[in-house]
């Protein structure tokens, strides 16, 4: 762990971010960071609440002369996506993140950095701690489990917060203001399979699809990156057709909201066909590499000889799996007509895993239009039902409908222009911010989202741009200083 990041400016933000990197905080395992945040608020002498679901709320009174301003809620989430490279030895429930400076960026060695949303939480902590800022009443709302279900936001009770304006600190492009986001829904499927004996005269191989960039299944879905589950499925299906290759197990992807970067499978092939199979693997790799050369140039597909497995998946289930994954939609489904350049509807086949007689698949659909999200989910359920799998949709959350007449949007555009000499871009994001859910509980809130520049979130290539953190902080404190007066 490099402590050099403690020398970066603004030091009051980076010190809190560094502290967060030292605390394990994968989604649904936030006990340590929750206790840390609770102690932080209490040590400052501020009203600190841990609600029933595990969100942390810290309230700071207005500074002298700002008591007549509308209350502002600074909102972020305490959890992070636990993604790592296959060759990285890291336990997200025990180990700190190994963050370091890499030129103009801060990144981590072999794992996600947690800038999503550690930078937003660190900025809120810096505001709460500061003695020299000018601001009206401020509340920090730090939710739990944002990355795997938004259960913190969904279970937030009405009446616990007093403010009128929500500033979400979970966007990832400095100089942009977000006023809307996509809703989402999870669709899962499960095949039951019978394990059959390995036929006589077979050679086993471990197949690896790796080297892909992966990334955020919303923000990066339009970049044309490879989906390891889709690539593996096409490979296995063609190998079965050509060489009667049988599948023993499969393990692709790890997170519902990340484009799968890696997939691994164990297969068996007749010994006399093994040389041809190895040649086929190299040929398929070359074709796939050419397809993804520009968008995902690191792809490799490897077939390594392995020990014979105990058994193989029955032929019918194997065929049904291949057919369903082939027909399952993936990627951008529709671009928005009303918001140019923004994905309207998408889906990501995130996980395909076999174990103990089950093959489980997970996908996440997103859309700016709730009806289209639900229809896409239904279409995917139909694909898997027709293939003989059990399937369901769950965890639906609403999108955040844009309000171009938002008062806080007008105020923040003026603040940014006065401070930096240009007007920030106003956008809608194809990702699941918590604003839609929170706004349903607090319909009076005027909401907006912004943040520093973060690249490759939800992947081990995640990084945050150093200069933009300082701009993000300056913008935040200027916004607080110019908070509108109560009506």
CB distance 445 to 141 below 8 Å: no
Which of 397, 430, 455 is where one domain is finished?
Answer: 397
Instruction: Quickly state the pLDDT bin for 149 (edges 50, 70, 90).
Output: confident
Which residues, in sequence order, are bridge partners of residue 343? 335
Q: Is residue 274 part of a domain?
A: yes
Same structural domain, 372 and 264: yes
CATH number of domain containing 389:
3.30.70.360
Model pTM score: 0.79
For residue 175 the two structure tokens come to: 């100089």
Give catalytic residue positions.
Answer: 79, 146
In this predicted structure, the answer to whether residue 312 has a pLDDT above a threshold of 80 is yes
Same structural domain, 150 and 236: no
Q: Is residue 14 part of a domain?
A: yes
Residue 396 phi/psi, 5-degree rounding, is: -65, 140
Q: Is residue 112 part of a domain?
A: yes
Same structural domain, 177 and 189: no
What's the rounded Cα separation, in Å, for the pair 385 and 323? Answer: 12
CATH number of domain containing 27:
3.40.630.10
Same structural domain, 410 and 365: no
pLDDT value at residue 433: 87
What's the rounded Cα separation, in Å, for the pair 389 and 386? Answer: 7
Same structural domain, 355 and 403: no
Which of 345, 378, 397 is where one domain is finished?
Answer: 397
Q: Which helix (H) or strand (E) holds 432?
A: none
Which of 397, 425, 449 is where one domain is finished?
Answer: 397
* Chain segment 338-392, per-residue pLDDT in tens: 778 889 999 999 999 999 999 999 999 999 999 999 999 999 999 999 999 999 9
Same structural domain, 148 and 203: no
- Beta strands at 246-252 and 454-455: parallel, antiparallel or unpaired: unpaired
Same structural domain, 161 and 258: no
Q: Is residue 95 part of a domain?
A: yes
Provide the number of structural domains found in the chain: 2
Q: Is residue 469 part of a domain?
A: yes
For residue 403 the two structure tokens come to: 């309000």
Same structural domain, 159 and 243: no
Same structural domain, 290 and 200: yes
* Chain segment 392-445, per-residue pLDDT in tens: 999 898 889 888 899 999 999 999 999 999 999 999 989 888 999 999 999 999
Same structural domain, 287 and 429: no
Q: Is residue 487 part of a domain?
A: no
Classify 363 as helix, strand or coil: strand
Q: Is residue 486 part of a domain?
A: no
Asked which of 20-24, 82-86, 450-454 is least confident by mean pLDDT, the reply is 82-86
pLDDT above 90 covers a percentage of the chain that reads 91
pLDDT value at residue 338: 76
Domain span including residue 305: 185-397
pLDDT value at residue 340: 80
The chain-wide mean pLDDT, for the chain, equals 96
Same structural domain, 23 and 80: yes
């Amino acid at each position: 762990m490099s402590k050099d990041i403690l020398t970066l400016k603004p030091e009051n933000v980076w010190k809190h971010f560094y502290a967060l990197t030292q605390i394990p905080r994968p989604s649904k395992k936030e006990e340590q960071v929750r206790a840390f945040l609770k102690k932080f608020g209490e040590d400052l002498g501020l009203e600190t609440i841990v609600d029933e679901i595990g969100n942390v709320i810290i309230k700071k009174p207005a500074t002298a002369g700002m008591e007549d301003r509308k209350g502002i809620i600074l909102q972020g989430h305490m959890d992070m996506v636990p993604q790592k490279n296959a060759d990285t030895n890291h336990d997200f429930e025990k180990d700190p993140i190994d963050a370091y400076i890499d030129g103009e960026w801060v990144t981590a060695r072999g794992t996600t950095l947690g800038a999503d949303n550690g930078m937003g939480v660190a900025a809120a902590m810096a505001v709460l701690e500061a003695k020299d800022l000018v601001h009206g009443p401020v509340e920090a709302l730090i939710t739990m489990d944002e990355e795997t279900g938004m259960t913190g936001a969904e279970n937030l009770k009405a009446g616990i917060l007093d403010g009128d304006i929500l500033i979400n600190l979970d966007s990832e492009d400095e100089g942009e203001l977000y006023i809307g986001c996509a809703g989402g829904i999870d669709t899962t499927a499960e095949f039951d399979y019978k394990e059959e004996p390995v036929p006589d005269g077979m050679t086993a191989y471990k197949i690896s699809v790796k080297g892909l960039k992966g990334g955020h299944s919303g923000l990066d879905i339009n970049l044309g990156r490879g989906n390891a589950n889709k690539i593996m499925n096409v490979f296995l299906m063609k190998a079965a057709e050509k060489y009667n290759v049988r599948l023993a197990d499969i393990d692709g992807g790890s997170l519902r909201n990340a484009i799968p970067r890696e997939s691994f499978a164990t297969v068996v092939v007749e010994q006399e066909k093994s040389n041809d199979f190895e040649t086929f693997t190299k040929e398929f790799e070359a074709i796939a590499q050419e397809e993804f050369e520009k968008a995902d140039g690191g792809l490799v597909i490897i077939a390594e000889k392995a020990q014979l497995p105990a058994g193989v998946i029955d032929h019918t289930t194997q065929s049904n799996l291949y057919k369903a994954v082939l027909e399952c939609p993936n990627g951008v489904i529709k671009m928005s007509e009303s918001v140019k350049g923004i994905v309207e509807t998408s889906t990501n086949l995130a996980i395909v895993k076999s174990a103990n007689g089950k093959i489980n698949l997970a996908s996440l659909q997103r859309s700016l239009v709730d009806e289209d999200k639900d229809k896409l989910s239904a279409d995917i359920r139909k694909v898997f039902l027709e293939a003989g799998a059990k399937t369901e949709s769950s965890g639906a959350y609403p999108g955040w409908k844009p309000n171009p007449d938002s008062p806080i949007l007008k105020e923040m555009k003026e603040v940014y222009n006065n401070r930096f000499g240009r007007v920030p871009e106003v956008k809608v994001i194809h990702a699941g911010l918590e604003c839609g859910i929170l706004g349903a509980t607090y319909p009076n809130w005027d909401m907006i989202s912004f943040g520093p520049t973060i690249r490759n979130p939800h992947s081990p290539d995640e990084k945050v741009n150093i200069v933009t953190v300082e701009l993000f902080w300056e913008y935040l404190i200027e916004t607080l200083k110019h908070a509108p007066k109560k009506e």
